[in-house]
Amino acid sequence: MINLEKREAVVQNLKDAGCTWEFIEDFLLCFDKKQKEKQLALLEAHRKQLLNTVHKEEKKIYCLDYLVYRINKEHIL
């Protein structure tokens, strides 16, 4: 019972982190086989993907902030 609860908690955590079902299935295979290194590699790859997305969105925010700055300081519009 404890293993099932632990597995369900892992699945929920992965869902919350935005992982696809394919990713979750791959991760659970490693989880069941106790392949810690592969689990960590999968998690690191997903983390990098999320971080890249964050950086792309940050760049968009910076562009908007710059435009607001220009409008306020130089009255370009």
For residues 2 and 13, give the distance between their C-alpha atoms in angstroms, rounded to a whole number.
16
Question: Which residues, in sequence order, are CB contacts of 33 under 8 Å at separation 6+?
Answer: none
Three-state DSSP state, 1: coil
pLDDT for position 33: 93
Of 73 and 57, the one with more pLDDT: 57
pLDDT band for 1, please (50, 70, 90 cuts).
Answer: very low
Angle between helices 21-32 and 2-16 (to 10 degrees): 150
Of 65 and 75, the one with more pLDDT: 65
pLDDT tens digits, one per residue of 2-61 = 588 889 999 999 999 999 999 999 999 998 899 999 999 999 999 999 999 999 999 999
pTM for this prediction: 0.78
